[in-house]
Structure 1
Amino acid sequence: MPIEIKPSQALDLWRIATVESVRRDSPDLSARQMALVLTVYLTPAPHTVRGLAEALNISKPAITRALDRLSSLGMVKRKVDEDDRRSVLIQRTVKGSVFLREFGDIVGSAGKTTQ
């Protein structure tokens, strides 16, 4: 069931979650990187550069740059598609799962403080 909040409440929730996130010793992701990692983890696999570019409506080079950063942080990994060796699959990692679980906790806590 959807929760209805005012735009100012939504922005304050985002602010609180973002501030808490940057205070922690966790990766500081750009909005594009966060959108990408959320898409990989919260939408059904398989994920490819082309598919992610289409889903986010951004260029494949922009996806590749964001994936390079996320890969270096251990939040996603690339794997050659065994069915089509020209294609690379983007996969979830334990480190990425932990990051998003913790970020989800931050957002949940922020939601409690804005009520």
Structure 2
Amino acid sequence: MRLAAEAWESLFRAQVALMRRFQADDIWRDLTMREYDVLFTLSRAPGGELRLRDLNEGMLLAQSSLSRMVERLESRGLVERSVPEDDARGTLVRLTAEGARRQRETGLAHVRTIAEYVGQALEPAELEQLRDVTDRLRLAQPGIPPRTS
């Protein structure tokens, strides 16, 4: 039990330290990291489009006010919203050409900083091991029942 807690704390503290460095980077220009996450998530979606609820589930960063953020991104011409034909209550969010361009441009710069901050700290074999271990940890979660008092 103690080893699991120590491993979690180490992973969490490493993630916080890296996120602070990423946020301080001079690559975001007029985007926040959370806004970039919306563009990134849409760039990975088929056709660059997702329902708002699916966009929220696919994001790497937690986002409690996604609807307002999407409105701001739409006003800047980076995404567009529409109503799906099969669900008038839903919202589709689509990456615009300008949004895709900004995502690619910012993404390339972000990958370079990731390579610098993470790649310089670990050997290639360690990076593969880290990826494999964290993937296993993430993928195992749905099969682990929630703890009840």
TM-score bracket for the superposition, by shorter chain length: 0.5 to 0.7
1:19 aligns with 2:55: no
TM-score, normalised relative to structure 1: 0.64
User: In structure 2, what is the equivalent of residue 40 of structure 1?
Assistant: 42
C-alpha displacement at 1:18, in angstroms? 5.3
Q: Report if the CA contact (8 A) 2:80-2:93 is conserved.
A: yes
Q: 1:87 to 1:104 in 2, by over 3 A?
A: same
Pairwise mapping of residues 20-99 of structure 1 onto structure 2 (< 5 A)?
Answer: 20-22=26-28, 26-29=29-32, 31-44=33-46, 46-56=49-59, 58-59=63-64, 62-99=65-102
Give the aligned length.
101
Query: Deviations along 1:21-45, whole A, 9 cap, x unmatched?
Result: 14xxx4232x322222211112335
- Which protein has the larger Cα radius of gyration, Structure 1 or Structure 2? 2
Q: 1:101 to 1:48 in 2, by over 3 A?
A: same
The whole-number CA distance in structure 2 between the counterparts of 1:46 and 1:36 is: 11
The whole-number CA distance in structure 2 between the counterparts of 1:53 and 1:112 is: 26
Greater share of helix: 2
Q: 1:100 to 1:18 in 2, by over 3 A?
A: farther
Q: Structure 2: where are the runs of 5+ without partners?
A: 1-13, 121-149
Q: Report if the CA contact (8 A) 1:74-1:95 is conserved.
A: yes
Q: Report if the CA contact (8 A) 1:17-1:107 is conserved.
A: no
Paired-residue identity, %:
29
